């Protein structure tokens, strides 16, 4: 039987839902624009960026499900674990995609294509994603949710990928370092993999700002 949430917790849940819907809508737009523009321009980097957005969107849907189930106190722990597993799988898929795409780019000596749309999307993400991640971390801390904390961590990693995309374009244009973004992306693979494994194990993300407070509730 569903429990009526106390007002303070209900407010936090609603704030989390708004933030998560915002993340979903932003990533859906980012994925459509990136993949569409990448296919038209023949930009593998942009298509890959769009795929990353799809994975982030999937994690956000899992987080939204976790928030929606918060009213069911007796099922909260089960929903928490399942959402965490989905997010963990998304981390591992992201790590695999980065490894394959970056390795292929290095072997093909493929420089990142200059794209005004790609630059605009990456620049926008550098502004939007850190704000969303910070706000979602606060919600995760208040609800003591490892799943929501892991999803916020994935948003932070997407910010880093945006910075790598921008940095790669600039370094290639300024000094001809065509390999810079691929090498930087490969350096992220161990971190993303660790985050995925920790999520699957039900452990808090690396650099967890929740401290010991992030635990599943029964």
The pLDDT profile of the chain, 218 residues, written as one tens digit per residue, is 444 555 788 899 999 999 999 999 999 999 998 888 777 766 666 777 788 888 889 989 999 988 888 877 777 788 888 888 888 898 899 889 889 888 988 898 877 666 777 778 888 999 999 999 999 999 999 988 888 998 898 888 888 888 887 887 778 778 888 888 788 888 888 988 998 898 888 776 655 544 444 444 43
pLDDT of residue 98: 85
Phi-psi label, residue 206: left if phi above 0, alpha if psi -120 to 50, beta otherwise: beta
pLDDT of residue 204: 66
Q: Please give the Cα distance from 33 to 50 (Å, whole number).
A: 8
Supply 163's token pair: 């910075």
Taking the model in full, what pTM does it have? Answer: 0.76
φ/ψ (deg, to 5) at 91: -60, -45
What Å distances lie between residue 132 and 20, 35, 92, 189, CA to CA?
Answer: 8, 22, 22, 23
pLDDT of residue 210: 44
Question: Which CATH topology does 7-203 take?
Answer: Alpha-lytic protease prodomain-like (1.20.1510)
**Nearest Cα to Cα of residue 197 among 64, 97, 90, 51:** 90
pLDDT of residue 44: 66
Half-sphere exposure of 148 (CA within 13 A, CB side): 36
Supply 42's token pair: 């023949």
pLDDT of residue 215: 47
Supply 142's token pair: 């208040």
pLDDT of residue 2: 46
What Å distances lie between residue 202 and 86, 117, 143, 157, CA to CA?
Answer: 11, 38, 16, 19
Say if residues 140 and 210 touch (Cβ distance below 8 Å). yes
pLDDT of residue 205: 66
DSSP type of residue 208: -
Say if residues 62 and 99 touch (Cβ distance below 8 Å). no
By the 10 Å C-beta count (0-12 exposed, 13-18 middle, 19+ buried), 204 is classed as buried
């Amino acid at each position: 039987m569903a429990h009526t949430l106390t007002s303070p917790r209900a407010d936090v849940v609603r704030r989390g839902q708004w933030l998560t819907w915002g993340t979903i809508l932003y990533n859906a737009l980012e994925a459509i624009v990136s993949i569409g523009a990448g296919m038209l321009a023949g930009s593998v980097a942009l298509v890959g960026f769009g795929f990353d957005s799809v994975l982030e969107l999937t994690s956000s849907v899992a987080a939204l499900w976790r928030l929606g189930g918060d009213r069911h106190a007796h099922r909260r722990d089960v929903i928490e674990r399942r959402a965490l597993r989905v997010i963990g799988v998304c981390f591992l898929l992201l790590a695999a995609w980065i490894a394959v795409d970056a390795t292929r780019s290095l072997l093909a000596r493929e420089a990142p294509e200059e794209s005004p749309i790609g630059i605009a999307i990456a620049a926008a993400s550098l502004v939007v994603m850190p704000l969303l991640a910070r706000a979602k971390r606060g919600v995760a801390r208040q609800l003591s949710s490892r799943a929501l904390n892991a999803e916020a961590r994935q948003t932070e990693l997407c910010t880093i990928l945006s910075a790598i995309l921008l940095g790669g374009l600039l370094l290639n244009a300024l000094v001809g370092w065509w390999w810079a973004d691929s090498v930087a992306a490969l350096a992220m693979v161990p971190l993303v993999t660790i985050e995925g494994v920790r999520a699957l194990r039900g452990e808090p993300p690396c650099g967890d700002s929740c401290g010991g407070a992030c635990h599943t509730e029964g």
